[in-house]
């Protein structure tokens, strides 16, 4: 920003105003001298000698006052009133307010900047409000399903003449719904803590290969049940410095997605490699793949692309994984083709202990 632009930014009344006043006053003084000369020439009486300059300067004062008033209204009063009206609308919950700046962009002054910042603030408030209402709607929707399940089965349990087997089934269904509820609430709390930075990552140096194989083993029953061909290609040892329990959430979700979205008989692979600067982990599957729309939104909270799997999970897994990896300074990429499969790639930078938080 040049010095001139900066001066204009800080000053609402331009130097040209001073020039206008100076020229006007010089002109008026010239006319005044002309009037005095006329009065002297024609030797008008004393009353006229006083009345003419008095009336003349009164007119000049009225003219200048009207001009100043007009300038103040145009440059200050009007934008301020508009700002006050806009603030009032925002206070009443209308976030569609927009105040256009008075000058073109190359002549912005501080009031124009204030209007632009106000517009930005209102847009930001509006998106926060939408996020909040969306979040409340999503949570309520996700909570409703398991609660309806619990209600249903509890009513069934109350019926007389149930067999032992039926009682067992209904109790199991109630328990499963409560597990879903508790998993949902745990994930919401985790995500909230991660986003509000209430979680301070506990960095420790550990063997990623051991963690990956432990996580993969947790899915053994699933791949056996679904007859999925699971393959793991890991190095013997790869040490990384990260928060072990947070990273576990990432691997568990990537693997659970791979097994969940792969039809029985398909295959899932877990690969890990490393180079001098980073360690790479790849989770690939031959499942349903993702549409362009799903790829765009998969990291959004509560987003579930494939609605046929909507009963399993709440669409929070990838949102959580993304926040964790962001916190760890790692990156995540995805390649997916509908009907063919998906590959998630996580790249974790190898950090020296001294550079850690």
Ligand X SMILES: Nc1ncnc2c1ncn2[C@@H]1O[C@H](COP(=O)(O)OP(=O)(O)OP(=O)(O)O)[C@@H](O)[C@H]1O
Q: Give CA–CA dist 213/317, Å, rounded.
A: 20
Least distance CB 316 / Mg ion (angstroms): 8
Mark the segment that binds Mg ion (CB under 5 A) among 19-27, 185-193, 211-219, 305-313.
305-313
What lies within 8 Å, CB to CB, of 95 at 6+ separation is: 122, 123, 125, 126, 129
Binding residues for Mg ion, how many (CB under 5 A)?
Answer: 4
By the rule CB under 6 A, 314 interacts with ligand X: yes
By the rule CB under 6 A, 313 interacts with ligand X: yes
Mark the segment that binds ligand X (CB under 6 A) among 50-58, 101-109, 235-243, 302-310.
302-310
Q: Tell me which of Mg ion, ligand X, none is bound by residue 286, counting a contact when its beta carbon lies within the kind-specific cut-off of 5 to 8 angstroms.
A: none
User: Nearer to Mg ion by C-beta: 179 or 202?
Assistant: 179
By the rule CB under 5 A, 294 interacts with Mg ion: no
User: Nearer to ligand X by C-beta: 141 or 202?
Assistant: 141
User: Nearer to Mg ion by C-beta: 257 or 274?
Assistant: 257
By the rule CB under 5 A, 304 interacts with Mg ion: no
Among 279, 285, 323, 351, binds ligand X (CB under 6 A): 285
By the rule CB under 5 A, 317 interacts with Mg ion: yes
Phi, psi of 95 (to 5 degrees): -100, 15
Least distance CB 220 / ligand X (angstroms): 18
By the rule CB under 6 A, 219 interacts with ligand X: no
Which ranges in the chain belong to alpha helices (H)?
3-10, 15-42, 46-72, 78-91, 110-157, 164-195, 208-217, 220-225, 244-260, 292-297, 317-328
User: Nearer to Mg ion by C-beta: 177 or 257?
Assistant: 257
Q: Give CA–CA dist 343/258, Å, rounded.
A: 9
Least distance CB 233 / ligand X (angstroms): 18
Q: Give CA–CA dist 257/304, Å, rounded.
A: 11
Among 211, 253, 272, 274, binds ligand X (CB under 6 A): 253
Among 246, 255, 298, 332, binds ligand X (CB under 6 A): 298
Neighbours of 159 (CB within 10 A): 9
User: Nearer to Mg ion by C-beta: 99 or 215?
Assistant: 215
Among 249, 305, 323, 324, binds ligand X (CB under 6 A): 305
Q: Give CA–CA dist 346/331, Å, rounded.
A: 6
3-class SS at 75? helix
What b/e string do you get for 119-146 counting C-beta neighbours within 10 Å, with b at 16 or more? beebeeebeeeeeeeeeeebbeebbebb
Is residue 120 left, alpha or beta, with left meaning phi > 0 and alpha meaning psi from -120 to 50? alpha
User: Nearer to Mg ion by C-beta: 277 or 338?
Assistant: 338
| DSSP letter string, 152-186 | HHHHHHTSSS--HHHHHHHHHHHHHHHHHHHHHHH
Are the C-beta atoms of residues 249 and 190 closer than 8 Å to each other? Answer: yes
User: Nearer to Mg ion by C-beta: 257 or 286?
Assistant: 257
Residues 317-346, interacting with ligand X (CB under 6 A): 317-319, 342
Q: Tell me which of ligand X, Mg ion, none is bound by residue 211, counting a contact when its beta carbon lies within the kind-specific cut-off of 5 to 8 angstroms.
A: none
Least distance CB 171 / ligand X (angstroms): 24
User: Nearer to Mg ion by C-beta: 79 or 313?
Assistant: 313
- Binding-site ranges for ligand X (CB under 6 A): 253, 257-258, 261, 285, 287-290, 294, 298, 303-306, 313-319, 342
């Amino acid at each position: 920003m040049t010095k001139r632009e900066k001066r204009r930014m800080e000053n609402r009344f331009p130097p040209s105003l001073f020039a206008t006043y100076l020229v006007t006053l010089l002109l008026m003084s010239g006319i005044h001298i002309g009037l005095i000369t006329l009065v002297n020439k024609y030797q008008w009486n004393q009353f006229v000698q006083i009345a003419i300059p008095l009336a003349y300067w009164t007119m000049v004062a009225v003219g200048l006052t009207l001009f100043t008033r007009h300038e103040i209204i145009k440059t200050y009063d009007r934008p301020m009133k508009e700002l006050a009206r806009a603030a009032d609308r925002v206070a009443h919950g209308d976030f569609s307010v927009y105040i256009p700046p008075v000058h073109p962009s190359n002549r912005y002054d501080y009031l124009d900047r204030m209007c632009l910042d106000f517009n930005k603030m209102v847009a930001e408030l509006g998106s926060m409000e939408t996020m909040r209402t969306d979040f409340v709607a999503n949570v309520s929707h996700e909570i409703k399903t398991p609660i309806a399940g619990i209600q249903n089965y509890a009513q069934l349990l109350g019926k007389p003449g149930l067999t032992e087997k039926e009682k067992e089934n209904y109790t199991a269904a109630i328990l499963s719904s409560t597990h879903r509820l508790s998993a949902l609430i745990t994930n919401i709390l985790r995500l909230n803590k991660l986003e509000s930075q209430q979680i301070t990552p506990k960095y420790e140096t550990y063997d990623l290969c051991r963690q990956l194989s432990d996580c993969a083993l947790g899915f053994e029953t699933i791949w056996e049940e679904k007859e999925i061909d699971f393959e793991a290609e890991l190095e013997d040892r790869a040490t990384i410095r990260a928060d072990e329990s947070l990273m576990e959430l990432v691997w568990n979700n990537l693997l659970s997605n791979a097994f969940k979205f792969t039809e029985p008989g398909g295959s899932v692979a877990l690969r890990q490699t490393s180079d001098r600067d980073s360690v790479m982990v790849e989770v690939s599957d031959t499942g349903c793949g993702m549409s362009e729309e799903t790829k765009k939104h998969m990291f959004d909270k509560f987003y579930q692309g494939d609605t046929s799997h909507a009963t399993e999970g709440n669409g929070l897994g990838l949102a959580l994984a993304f926040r964790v990896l962001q916190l760890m300074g790692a990156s995540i990429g995805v390649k997916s083709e509908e009907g063919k499969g998906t590959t998630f790639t996580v790249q974790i930078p190898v950090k020296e202990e001294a550079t850690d938080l």
